[in-house]
Amino acid sequence: MASKSTNAVVQRRVNQVYDMLLCGASRAEIIEYSIQKEWGIVDKTIDLYIKKANLRFKEQSNVIHDEQFGLAINRLNNLYMKCMKIQDYKAALAVQKDLNALLGLYKPSKKELRWDNAQLESMDFAKQTLRSKLAQVSLQTVGEVDE
């Protein structure tokens, strides 16, 4: 029976898998690499390494998105300030519109209000449930008034 890998070994392998995924390696190529390097692990363990590497991609994308979002807001605010300083109101208005759009301050356009069938069916079910509940409440209220 193979001995259990240390945390340092596992982390090093996850880093190698991360780098391979970054370069476009497939699962099969990663498994082949593990055989060549004599890691002595089963495919299930490789899948765990791939999962950990993919989790790192996801975490990094969240951080990068938040940083870039903050950077974009600050750049637009800075640009707005510079436009106002030189009294270029047309440019300042354009910057403000970009900032408003970035922050989602505008109502969605009719084009953006498209629903798929599952959403529509869900809304229909909710309406039917609401009508049923309202009918029950109405009947109870009428019954209480009659008494």
If the chain, 147 residues long, is cut into consecutive pieces of 10 residues, what is the mean pLDDT of each piece?
A: 79 95 94 93 94 91 85 93 95 94 82 64 72 69 52
Helices (DSSP H) in the chain: which residue ranges?
7-22, 27-36, 43-85, 89-103, 117-146
Tell me the C-alpha distance between 54 and 17, whole Å.
9
What pLDDT is stored for residue 123 in this prediction?
A: 72
**pLDDT for the residue numbered 63:** 80
Q: Residue 144: its pLDDT value, please? A: 53
Tell me, yes or no, if the pTM score tops 0.85: no
pLDDT value for 1: 46
Predicted local confidence at residue 115, as pLDDT: 64
Position 110 scores a pLDDT of 63
